DNA sequence: TTATTGTCTTTTATCGTGAAAAAACAGTTT
DNA sequence: AAACTGTTTTTTCACGATAAAAGACAATAA
């Protein structure tokens, strides 16, 4: 196998959802823009849709014949990127315990275990190295630095530095900047979530990321914006392994976000600083308490 | 060709220099530690040294027979890593002009031009992407963001944030920390260079990097330490293309460093902050004035 | 018995190759 | 003629294979 066709499969699945809404599909370039793939892939999708009797396709006319059934969709797991598969697998090992700091990482073994080529694993490790959890020894193996307390402290130190600066930049943005509308929308979503926190608390992490990314973007600094990838990645997995008091934690965080948003809207730099600091402090606390004890150096 | 033996060649060249100093070489493991390579490579080196009549090798005894000549050394260019070759080639293109921001980067074309496989180029681009000069479009090509004024400003913003913090951490280090001795040594080197600046001004860049890395290390934060790689990389190439007033610039910088060092030794946070700010300001100015005009967006 | 050498095994670095996906080009339709 | 479809070319992505380099193990010498 040289390259999986997950791009096609994922786009196909998303394309199926379009069939539920319309009686005929738009032009190929339009579909390409809609699904974010090339026309080549669109044509492969259309070909299969025709084959399975979902549409009648003749040049410009693409008539929907029937609504897609559950078994028309490709299985979820076949739509993942190789790097997503590798990352998940790698993080599972990392968090499963037994992954002590200092331990060496074997490309070949990882590749065999996950069932992929070594090149993909290498490329993943290179990409992953910027998160600061692993390190390469010159023409030799990788070393696991581990998700330790030191890591969490170093991460949050930078995060706090960057976010305080971004928040200040945000508050200083002119009245007519479109970000204020974005902020209003996010505020509404927060209020809604706060009201239904009892049942929807697990939707917070996604909202959290969108909120903080909006703030960081105000810095207009690529290094600050990019650094949020590290935070997002850590929090993504952190949310998965630390379910203790998830509802309570998220409830507190939503309230802090609302206070933070109010401070931003007030444009009062003192208030912004205080609200930001308060939220970051509790975020740091949450992260620190969740570090597995076995991984202390 | 599947893998070049540059590790061997480079270690061999460094090994030759040992022959000039001693009459017999130490054990294989010891040599390995000395040259930073495995025993396998050491044995290959010894085998060649024996073959070319440099040493007599019999088990433990490795007697030096003659001093190495110039033609015993492998050519300099054969000792480079592939990634060094690719980086140099890539940067040359980037700085040669005609590399407008937004331009797309072609892996295959790069690989062909440099005469290497696509895998190596891909891995280089992934590694290089953390410098913020290029960006990947999801399952498509890379896009050049370019060495623009915006880039320089974003870079220096972070640099200043990080260095001010590191410098403060440095000054707060206890009396008995070994960094003070390192600082003393660096101070001496600065004084020496200041005295002979007329002839040795081009040695400043290397000293500059060592000095700033020492400071950054005091932060004890991997993200801060790692970020210096971005700065070092930019300054490395910056020094190559901007030779205007090099002597004057370096003379000023050496003086600023000495003031900075004095401030650190005084442990007076106010003085440290002032000296650091002053130096960073002139460093930023130097960098900004050197940005090629043609690359403004 | 401990470090060192000789030998064998494993892992990393790099390439060429082939399928998936993108992009370019050419011919059609409205 | 502008946008679309059909066709061809190019590029990206991922693999297996292979030489370089590292590492492990057994045999040996101090």
Q: Which three-class secondary structure string do you get for chain B?
A: CCCCCHHHHHHHHHHHHHHCCCCECCCHHHHHHHHCCCHHHHHHHHHHHHHCCCEEEECCEEEECCCCCHHHCCCHHHHCCHHHHHHHHHHHHHHCCCCCCCCEECHHHHHHHHCCCHHHHHHHHHHHHHHCCEEECCCCCEEECCCCHHHHHHHHHHHHHHHHHHHHHHHCCCCCCCHHHHHHHHHHHHHHHHHCHHHHHHHHHHHHHHHHHHHHHCCCCHHHHHHHHHHHHHHHHHHHHCCCCHHHHHHHHHHHHHHHHHHHHHCCHHHHHHHHHHHHHHHHHHHHHCCCHHHCC
Fold of the A81-144 domain: Arc Repressor Mutant, subunit A (1.10.10)
Q: Is residue B295's pLDDT more than 50?
A: no
Fold of the B82-144 domain: Arc Repressor Mutant, subunit A (1.10.10)
CB contact under 8 A, A223 and B154: yes
Mean pLDDT of B239-247: 84
The Cα–Cα gap between A271 and A263 comes to 5
The dihedrals phi and psi of A224, each to the nearest 5 degrees, come to -70, -45
CB contact under 8 A, A36 and B227: no
Each residue's pLDDT tens digit, B165-194: 999 999 999 999 999 999 999 999 999 999
Closest CA to A263 of A158, A131, A170, A133: A170
Q: A38 CA to D5 C1', in Å? A: 14
Mean pLDDT of B147-173: 97
According to DSSP, the β-strands at B55-58 and A61-64 are unpaired
Mean pLDDT of B203-216: 97
The Cα–Cα gap between A105 and A99 comes to 10
Is residue B9 within 8 Å of residue B78, measured between CB atoms? Answer: yes
Each residue's pLDDT tens digit, B10-45: 999 999 999 999 999 999 999 999 999 999 999 999
The Cα–Cα gap between A112 and B131 comes to 31
The Cα–Cα gap between B219 and A56 comes to 65
Q: Which CATH architecture group holds B6-77?
A: Orthogonal Bundle (1.10)
Residue B285's pLDDT is 95
Identify the residues numbered 97 to 116 in chain A whose C-beta atom is closer than 7 Å to any atom of strand C.
Answer: 105-109
Q: Does nucleic acid strand D have an atom less than 7 angstroms from the CB of B4? A: yes
Residue B241's pLDDT is 79
Q: Which percentage of chain B shows pLDDT scores above 90?
A: 89
Go through A122-151 and write b for each residue having 16 or more CB atoms within 10 A of its CB, e for each that does not: bbbbbbbbbbbbbeeeeeeebebbbbbebb
The alpha carbon of residue B158 and the mean position of all alpha carbons in its chain are separated, in whole angstroms, by 19
Q: Which residue has the higher pLDDT, B99 or A285?
A: A285
Q: Where are the CATH 1.10.10.10 domain residues in chain A?
A: 6-77, 81-144
Q: Where are the CATH 1.10.10.10 domain residues in chain B?
A: 6-77, 82-144
For B126, which residue in chain A has the nearest alpha carbon? A127
**pLDDT tens over chain A, length 297 residues:** 689 999 999 999 999 999 999 999 999 999 999 999 999 999 999 999 999 999 999 999 999 999 999 999 999 999 999 999 999 999 999 988 778 999 999 999 999 999 999 999 999 999 999 999 999 998 899 999 999 999 999 999 999 999 999 999 999 999 999 999 999 999 999 999 999 999 998 899 999 999 999 999 999 999 999 999 999 999 998 888 788 888 999 999 999 999 999 999 999 999 999 999 999 999 999 999 888 655 444
Helical H runs in chain A?
Answer: 6-19, 28-35, 39-51, 82-95, 107-114, 118-128, 149-171, 179-195, 197-200, 204-217, 222-241, 246-266, 269-289
Tell me which DSSP letter residue A143 carries: E
Q: Does nucleic acid strand D have an atom less than 7 angstroms from the CB of A108? A: no
Tokens representing residue B14 in the block: 């460094």
The dihedrals phi and psi of B124, each to the nearest 5 degrees, come to -60, -45
What is the interface size between A and B, counted as CB pairs within 8 Å?
Answer: 51
The rounded mean pLDDT for chain B is 95
Q: Cα–Cα distances in Å, from A165 out to A137, A292, B157, B275?
A: 34, 31, 11, 23
Go through A92-121 and write b for each residue having 16 or more CB atoms within 10 A of its CB, e for each that does not: ebbeeeebebeeebebeebbeebebeeebb
CB contact under 8 A, B154 and A36: no
Identify the residues numbered 128 to 187 in chain B whose C-beta atom is closer than 7 Å to any atom of strand C.
Answer: 137, 139-141
Tokens representing residue A286 in the block: 């949450």
Say which residues have a Cβ less than 8 Å from residue A161's Cβ, sequence separation at least 6: B161, B165
According to DSSP, the β-strands at B142-144 and A142-144 are unpaired
Residue B127's pLDDT is 98
Chain C nucleotides near the protein (CB, 7 A):
3-8, 10-24, 29-30
Closest CA to A257 of A220, A219, A208: A208
**Chain A residues close to B158, C-beta within 8 Å:** 221, 223-224
The Cα–Cα gap between A176 and A60 comes to 43
Say which residues have a Cβ less than 8 Å from residue B267's Cβ, sequence separation at least 6: B171, B172
Fold of the B149-295 domain: 1.20.120
Q: Does nucleic acid strand C have an atom less than 7 angstroms from the CB of A118? A: yes
Is residue A233 within 8 Å of residue A87, measured between CB atoms? Answer: no
Is residue B94 within 8 Å of residue B144, measured between CB atoms? Answer: yes
pLDDT band at B293 (very low <50, low <70, confident <90, very high): low
- A118: the nucleotide nearest its CA (via C1') is D15
Long-range contact pairs involving A94-99 (C-beta distance under 8 Å, separation at least 24): A94/A133, A94/A144, A94/A146, A94/A147, A95/A147, A95/A237, A95/A241, A95/A292, A97/A292, A97/A294, A99/A144, A99/A146, A99/A295
Q: Which residue is nearest to nucleotide D28 (CA to C1')?
A: B59
CB contact under 8 A, B132 and A226: yes
Q: Does nucleic acid strand D have an atom less than 7 angstroms from the CB of B48? A: no
- Residue B227's CB is within 10 A of a number of other CB atoms, namely 23
Q: Does nucleic acid strand C have an atom less than 7 angstroms from the CB of B119? A: yes
pLDDT band at B96 (very low <50, low <70, confident <90, very high): confident
Residue A98's pLDDT is 75
Q: Is residue B210's pLDDT more than 80?
A: yes
Q: Where are the CATH 1.20.120.530 domain residues in chain B?
A: 149-295
For the purposes of burial, counting CB atoms within 10 Å of the CB of B69, is it exposed (0-12), middle (13-18) or buried (19 or more)?
exposed
Residue B139 Ramachandran class (φ > 0 left, ψ -120 to 50 alpha, else beta): left
């Amino acid at each position: 196998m040289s390259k999986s066709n997950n791009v096609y499969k994922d786009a196909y699945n998303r394309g199926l959802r379009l069939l539920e809404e319309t009686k005929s599909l738009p032009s190929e370039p339009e579909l390409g823009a809609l699904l974010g793939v090339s026309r080549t892939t669109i044509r492969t999708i259309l070909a299969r849709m025709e084959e399975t009797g979902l549409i009648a396709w003749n040049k410009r006319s693409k008539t929907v014949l029937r609504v897609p059934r559950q078994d028309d969709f490709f299985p979820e797991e076949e739509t993942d990127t190789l790097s997503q598969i590798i990352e998940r697998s790698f993080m599972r090992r990392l968090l499963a315990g037994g992954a002590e700091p200092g331990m060496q990482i074997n490309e070949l073994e990882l590749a065999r275990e996950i069932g992929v080529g070594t090149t993909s694993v290498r490329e993943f490790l290179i990409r992953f190295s910027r998160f600061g959890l692993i390190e390469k020894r010159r023409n030799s193996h990788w070393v696991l630095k581990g998700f330790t307390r030191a890591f969490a402290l170093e991460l949050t130190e930078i995060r706090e530095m960057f976010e305080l600066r971004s928040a200040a930049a945000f508050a200083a943005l002119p009245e007519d900047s479109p970000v204020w509308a974005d902020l209003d929308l996010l505020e509404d979503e927060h209020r809604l979530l706060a009201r239904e926190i009892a049942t929807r608390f697990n939707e917070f992490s996604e909202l959290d990321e969108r909120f903080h990314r909006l703030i960081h973007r105000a810095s207009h600094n690529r290094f600050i914006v990019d650094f949020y990838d590290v935070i997002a990645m850590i929090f993504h997995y952190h949310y998965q392994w630390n379910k203790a008091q998830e509802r309570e934690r998220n409830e507190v965080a939503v309230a802090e976000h609302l206070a933070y948003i109010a401070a931003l809207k007030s444009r009062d730099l003192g208030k912004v600083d205080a609200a930001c600091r308060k939220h970051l402090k509790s975020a740091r606390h949450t992260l620190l308490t969740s570090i597995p004890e076995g991984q202390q150096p």
